[in-house]
Structure 1
Amino acid sequence: MAAIYPLSEGIFTIGHDKEFVPFDPDKDVLTDRPTGSLLVEILPFLVVTDKDVMVLDTGLGFKGADGVLQIHANLRAHGYEPGQVTKVLLSHLHKDHAGCLTYTDENGLIKTTFPNAEYYIYRAEADFALATGLPSYHPEDIEPLLATGQVRWLQGEAGTINGYIRYMHSGGHCPQHIVYLVDDGTDKVFFGGDEAPQLKQMKMKYVAKYDFDGKKAMRLREQYAEQGRAEGWQFLFYHDVKIPVARL
């Protein structure tokens, strides 16, 4: 049985400038933000199976006032240490999903956020991210990880990791986006990254301007919803401010 823990970094607005600005729903007003701003949560996930302790996407990489990485503090709040993470699954490398692949410690040394984990990255997405750069991708967050021995490259249109984690090239939100289905024999957990980012988006038919191929992303959401409903998937919603995990 899979145990799922959201690792929230908080709620933010994001506008045309691609900057994530913290948003406090108790005192901030969305209409005060620049026109077109979206309200999103940043929600990496911890998924624990009989075989692995996995993190799905890594967030922005913020630190608390004590200098501790927020994702480390969130892990510890659920009883896990960073060194226990065995796999990090990346849907894509936009800065809000891959901002904490590594971090700089108090001595100025760059270290991997999860020192004993294998980081699974779609090879074509890494190439695209480094070639494209700002504002959506931050190569300085990506390159240090690529110099380690912890990266495991994913290639092809689909494949399987350790016999029970399936990945599929989707390419709706960004050209080399991938999605994951974790099937441990008891539960099926689907992580669609930014192609299934919020529960309400799985119930609405629309083309989003922020997607690379909005029509394809819309069709994919419909496909994910139909299959997930039929097979009882648990969906992980990376940007949902209210419902991080749900079945349809």
Structure 2
Amino acid sequence: MKTSSSKRFLSTVAAAAAILGLNLAAAPAARAAAPQVKTQAPGYYRLMLGDIEVTALSDGSVVLPMDKLLTGAKPEQIQQALKNAYLDGQVETSVNGYLINTGSKLVLIDTGAAALFGPTLGRLAANLRAAGYQPEQVDEVYITHLHSDHAGGLVADGKPAFPNAVVRIDKREADHWLSAEKMAQAPEAARGGFKAAQSLLKPYQDAGRLKPFDGATELVPGVRALPSYGHTPGHTVYMVESKGQKMAVWGDLMHVAAVQFPDPTVTISFDTDSASAMPQRQQAYADAAKNGYLVAVAHISFPGLGRLRADGKGGYVWVPLNYSSKP
């Protein structure tokens, strides 16, 4: 038997339901589980460097056996460094490019791998469009070096992927990879790199839009090429500067942050000349830490932007750029 208080409670609930248009007798509709989407957001991140707009562009990521590729250190040292970063030997490596809008020129530094390294890469062009630009708008493309994960995106379906752009690259880099003599002298396993570089540059050569430079050169106001030879014969860093703010685009001065920042003497088997690449790496890390400028790194987790701080033990700590929801 219901008490008067319970009757009053039920009548209050019924009145409230009537006001809200609810049918208490109706059972809630069954809902199917939402399907998992399993995609990432478009891979771009934007910031202002003085008056210059910088947009980091993700080409994707690829898994590489870095414990086998890194050189100049004992295997147990490399394994421990990876373990400290909660990584195993199979490191998922980002591939990043950087779009520089100076206000008068639109410059792309490195183009990603396109389809040359499998389906998890090749997204830079789509992310460029997602960021609000079109490949046809790019005025100049600067290549840090001609390894395919940095230059593979130069070409799409055999044609220039950036049809109105001039391609700039250090003369030593172009001379090396375009040389039939050097390709003939190279080990058989290395000749594929020469063939790839030649096919990527050919459409721009044929159009008269491949324009090498010689060493340290201001390419456009606010962007300067700085030689860092070693990883490849003409490997180049690009320094972007506006209103006293600086950003160095490093190319392949770093491959595995967990290992090479604590110990910059660690090299990689991809180096053309590791004996030259190592001091270039050490010098770049020391200068970035001393002067506190921003660094853009191709193979650090996207967007690959941050600064270095000396750890007092001969190594460095990577300090990622603080996220901002506005450029």
Amino acid at match of 1:136: G
1:103, 1:232 → 2: CA distance?
Answer: 38
**SS across alignment from 1:150:** coil
Amino acid at match of 1:112: P
**SS across alignment from 1:135:** helix
1:102–1:145 Cα contact (<8 Å) kept:
no
2:213, 2:90 → 1: CA distance?
Answer: 33
Q: 1:56 aligns with which of 109, 113, 124?
A: 109
Cα distance, 1:174 vs structure 2: 1.3
RMSD across aligned C-alpha pairs, in angstroms? 2.7
Match of 2:170 in 1: 122
Match of 2:160 in 1: 112
Match of 1:26 in 2: none
2:266, 2:290 → 1: CA distance?
Answer: 24
1:169, 1:103 → 2: CA distance?
Answer: 28
2:266, 2:256 → 1: CA distance?
Answer: 14
**SS across alignment from 1:188:** strand
Cα distance, 1:149 vs structure 2: 2.2
Cα distance, 1:244 vs structure 2: 0.6
How many residues were matched structurally? Answer: 222
Cα distance, 1:199 vs structure 2: 4.4
1:240 maps onto 2:300 in alignment: yes
Alignment gaps of 5+ in structure 2: 1-49, 70-86, 117-121, 184-189, 309-327
Match of 2:206 in 1: 147
1:9 maps onto 2:68 in alignment: no
2:267, 2:149 → 1: CA distance?
Answer: 18
1:74 maps onto 2:132 in alignment: no
Q: Equivalent residues in 2 for 1:91-106 (5 A)?
A: 91-104=144-157
1:227 maps onto 2:301 in alignment: no
Q: Name the TM-score, length of structure 1 as normaliser.
A: 0.78
Match of 2:242 in 1: 184
Alignment gaps of 5+ in structure 1: 19-29, 64-68, 105-109
Match of 1:23 in 2: none
Cα distance, 1:39 vs structure 2: 3.5
Match of 1:216 in 2: 276
Cα distance, 1:173 vs structure 2: 0.7
**SS across alignment from 2:252:** helix
2:58–2:302 Cα contact (<8 Å) kept:
no
**SS across alignment from 1:93:** coil
2:96–2:302 Cα contact (<8 Å) kept:
no
1:90 maps onto 2:143 in alignment: yes
**SS across alignment from 1:223:** helix
Cα distance, 1:177 vs structure 2: 1.2
1:88–1:119 Cα contact (<8 Å) kept:
yes
1:205, 1:196 → 2: CA distance?
Answer: 9
Cα distance, 1:38 vs structure 2: 5.0
Q: Residues 127 and 15 of structure 1: is their aligned pair in 2 closer, same or farther, counting only changes over 3 Å?
A: farther
Match of 1:25 in 2: none
Q: Name the TM-score, length of structure 2 as normaliser.
A: 0.60
1:100–1:113 Cα contact (<8 Å) kept:
yes
Q: Residues 134 and 218 of structure 1: is their aligned pair in 2 closer, same or farther, counting only changes over 3 Å?
A: same
Cα distance, 1:167 vs structure 2: 1.3
2:156, 2:302 → 1: CA distance?
Answer: 28
CA offsets, 1:189-211, max 9 Å, x none? 11111113454434423231322
Q: Residues 56 and 141 of structure 1: is their aligned pair in 2 closer, same or farther, counting only changes over 3 Å?
A: same
Amino acid at match of 2:56: P
Q: Residues 202 and 146 of structure 1: is their aligned pair in 2 closer, same or farther, counting only changes over 3 Å?
A: farther
Q: Which has the higher helix share?
A: 2
2:216, 2:257 → 1: CA distance?
Answer: 25
2:261, 2:202 → 1: CA distance?
Answer: 34
Match of 2:227 in 1: 169
Identity of aligned residues (%): 30
